[in-house]
Amino acid sequence: MTYETITVEPIAGALGAVIRGPDLSRPLDQQCFAEIHEAFLKHLVIFLEDQDLTPDQLLAFAERFGRIVNYPFVKDMDGHSGITEIIKTETDTLNFGGIWHSDTTYLPKPPLGSMLYARELPPRGGDTLFANMYLAYETLSDGMKAMLGPLRAVSTAALRAQGNVNARARLADQTGKGQNRDKLEMEAEHPVIRTHPETGKKALYINCAHTSHFTGMTPEESRPILQFLFEHMRRPEFTCRYRWSVDALALWDNRCSHHYALNDYQGYRRLMHRVTIEGDTPV
């Protein structure tokens, strides 16, 4: 596609691009938004830097992609339903999202995507890694693709991996909404290989933060194959790394990418605003 209203600068071979030109504090015309959307589908995660946005302006941009939904475990920002404050304080040791994952796959309709807007950053560290699940699928052997093709897998909100649940509970308490233990029972079953509803491409759709086991198998039977896939999915050549700046905004495609928030800034505060966009039932 030839872009007329934006400039798109890829940041890695696998995925990720910085978009320059739009001012998201102002309404976007249809052509500009269409070009941003096309870049989003092509690069899986896009970054728009130096965006001075109010919470309402952030929400207005997110709504161009779809209906905004609430994150089930953390209270929304006061006065702005749909914005979750992701906070790591100077005394916190765990961070939120510090594991390779796709967001909330324990829901029947996981998000289309998520936006993250940088408000306060440490002087160094706190980068985010992203991985391309199209490439993770395409580089599997034909035999593995054939085996995985008909399989489904169970995702659960209660899976305890690398402090993931503990970090979520700490953030819930910090924002004034204690974690609802009933919600830890949330789980959903999805295809292991997902077809993207807009691009038609196939992607691996499991993740080590939430995927428990293959449907019809025990966790013990599933573990060897899942562990191989979890290692495969984060191969360096499938990834990009983004260094944040204040007022930078990221949007990633939850249907075909993973992300990982690095926890390498102990003793410093980091505040991000997150918005989640409604998705569909994976097929």
Taking the chain (283 residues) in consecutive chunks of 10 residues, what is each chunk's mean pLDDT?
94 98 96 98 98 98 97 90 96 94 97 98 98 98 98 90 54 54 81 98 97 97 98 98 98 98 97 98 98
Helical residues (DSSP H) of the chain, grouped into ranges? 30-43, 55-63, 133-138, 142-148, 164-174, 219-233
Of 82, 53, 119, 75, nearest in space to 270 by CA: 119
The verdict on residue 234 lying in a domain is: yes
User: Which structural domain, as residue segments, surrounds residue 16?
Assistant: 7-277
We report the CATH number of the domain holding residue 232 as: 3.60.130.10
The verdict on residue 73 lying in a domain is: yes
The verdict on residue 2 lying in a domain is: no
In which residue are the tokens 């495609």 written?
253
In which residue are the tokens 């169970």 written?
154
Residue 193 three-state SS: strand
In which residue are the tokens 């944040």 written?
244
Give Dmax (Cα) for the chain.
53
Distance CA 265, CA 92 (A): 10
For the chain, what is the domain count? 1
Dihedral (CA of 85, 281, 187, 202) sign: negative
The Cβ of residue 281 has, within 10 Å, a number of other Cβ atoms equal to: 12
* The predicted structure's pLDDT at residue 162: 44
The verdict on residue 282 lying in a domain is: no
Q: What is the pTM of this model?
A: 0.93
The verdict on residue 283 lying in a domain is: no
The verdict on residue 1 lying in a domain is: no
In which residue are the tokens 């080590």 written?
208
Distance CA 94, CA 269 (A): 12
Which tokens sit at 85? 């404050």
* The predicted structure's pLDDT at residue 158: 86
Would you say 114 and 130 are in contact if contact means Cβ atoms under 8 Å apart? no
The verdict on residue 235 lying in a domain is: yes
Of 99, 282, 100, 68, nearest in space to 188 by CA: 282
pLDDT tens per residue across span 104-136: 999 999 999 999 999 999 999 999 999 999 999
Residue 222 three-state SS: helix
Instruction: State the catalytic residues.
Output: 101, 103, 259, 274
The verdict on residue 114 lying in a domain is: yes
Quote the DSSP letter at residue 174. Answer: H
